[in-house]
Amino acid sequence: MDKPVLLEVKDLKTYFYSGKHALKAVDSVSFSIREGEVFGLVGESGSGKSITCKSLIGLIHRPGRIAGGSIRYRGQELAGLSEKALTAVRGKEIGMIFQEPMVALNPVLRIGQQITESFKDPGLSGEEKHARAVELLRRVGIPNPEQRMREYPHQFSGGMRQRAVLAIALAGNPQILFADEPTTALDVTVQAQILDLLRDVQQKLGTATVLDLGVVARAADRVAVMYAGRIVEIGTAEEVYYDPRHPYTWALLRALPALARHGEPLYTIPGMPPTLIDPPAGDAFAERNEYALAIDYREAPPMFRITDTHFAATWLLDPRAPKVAPPLGGLRHE
């Protein structure tokens, strides 16, 4: 049975203004996240993943602005809330971890203090806070937590810092966790450990998680593929990885190192994403799409429904379009 919807995003538009121009970083994005779900955003650099995440947690600053749409958290509208009201929701319900753990850590405070200060429960004694912080550090896989509590961020390795940031985020007992490329700055083995950890935490605590997956795409229940500020394909991870329908997703799957098949050279998507200031009419991917149809250059495609959970915005799904087979047909099950 489906869990209740936690976050519902509709027609979200986040623009950066300069003079008369607007850079449409996020342009009419819609999706929803259910309790306990892991939702992954994938797409090339610059496709709007981070700005989508930041919009949802109220971290868009001038000249950027949420220019339209709605963000409902448990039915409460967040778009347009004051910074103060947002901070209250953000601190209590929403946790965040970013690419660079040092940004989230205070270099002059001991790790233990940074965790205990993040507990929201006012009734906790100092001892209880200490015990809970130790427990959290243990949960995120930090050895010798008692001793580590007394250390400063610079005494931690990159991977350990990201674990500490996760402990701080979890200290607030969030219902939803935003992880924006939390592993990009780490080396490959540590990346895998942190992703495993996120998955483990998510399963044990039931925290819904939004992952900005720059490169590594496993671990999500549902995936949205972003291109030029829009979602071009969305579905369960199974649908998007094993039965992709949008030519951009085909190209992306061939280009992601973590998903490349053994022995096949890594593919680079030819061409460049379009400018997000006054983008051309039609399908933004048309210029780079070897399967583009004439209509792609004139009209942007609607979202076509493939299943109740799988949608893609490409004219190739129009019943009148010629049938083309994807170059690899998506990933294959091992």
**Applying CB under 5 A, which residues contact Mg ion?**
49-50
Q: Which does 244 bind (CB under 5 to 8 A by kind): ligand ADP, Mg ion, none?
A: none
Contact flag: residue 25 with ligand ADP (CB under 6 A): yes
CB of 45 to ligand ADP, least distance (A): 4
Q: Which does 16 bind (CB under 5 to 8 A by kind): Mg ion, ligand ADP, none?
A: ligand ADP
CB of 105 to ligand ADP, least distance (A): 21
Contact flag: residue 48 with ligand ADP (CB under 6 A): yes
Report the alpha-carbon distance of residue 170 to residue 113 in Å, rounded.
14
Q: Residues 12, 15, 33, 49: which binds ligand ADP (CB under 6 A)?
A: 49
Contact flag: residue 276 with ligand ADP (CB under 6 A): yes
- Taking CB under 6 A as the binding criterion, the range among 48-56, 263-271, 304-312, 316-324 that sits at the site for ligand ADP is 48-56
Residue 14 near residue 25 (C-beta atoms within 8 A)? yes
Q: Residues 6, 7, 22, 23: which binds ligand ADP (CB under 6 A)?
A: 23
Contact flag: residue 56 with ligand ADP (CB under 6 A): no
Cα-atom radius of gyration of the chain, to the nearest Å? 21
Residue 73 near residue 7 (C-beta atoms within 8 A)? yes
- Taking CB under 6 A as the binding criterion, the range among 40-48, 87-95, 113-121, 282-290 that sits at the site for ligand ADP is 40-48
Contact flag: residue 45 with ligand ADP (CB under 6 A): yes
**Own/partner long-range contacts of 263-270 (Cβ < 8 Å, ≥24 apart):** 269/44
Q: Residues 47, 175, 191, 314: which binds ligand ADP (CB under 6 A)?
A: 47
3-state class (DSSP) for residue 239:
helix
Report the DSSP beta bridge partners of residue 96: 178
Report the alpha-carbon distance of residue 284 to residue 30 in Å, rounded.
17
Token duo for residue 303 = 């979202």
CB of 227 to Mg ion, least distance (A): 14
CB of 23 to ligand ADP, least distance (A): 5
Report the alpha-carbon distance of residue 55 to residue 41 in Å, rounded.
14
Nearest to 134 by CA among 154, 113, 153, 155: 113
Q: Which does 148 bind (CB under 5 to 8 A by kind): ligand ADP, Mg ion, none?
A: none
Report the alpha-carbon distance of residue 331 to residue 334 in Å, rounded.
9
Report the alpha-carbon distance of residue 64 to residue 67 in Å, rounded.
9
Q: Which does 68 bind (CB under 5 to 8 A by kind): Mg ion, ligand ADP, none?
A: none
Residues in CB range of 277: below 8 A, 6 or more apart: 21, 22, 23, 24
- Taking CB under 6 A as the binding criterion, the range among 38-46, 132-140, 168-176, 291-299 that sits at the site for ligand ADP is 38-46
Task: Give the count of beta carbons closer than 10 Å to the beta carbon of residue 125.
Answer: 8
Contact flag: residue 140 with ligand ADP (CB under 6 A): no
Contact flag: residue 240 with ligand ADP (CB under 6 A): no
Task: Give the count of beta carbons closer than 10 Å to the beta carbon of residue 258.
Answer: 13
Question: Which residues of this protein are in contact with ligand ADP, per CB under 6 A?
Answer: 16, 23, 25, 43, 45-51, 64, 276
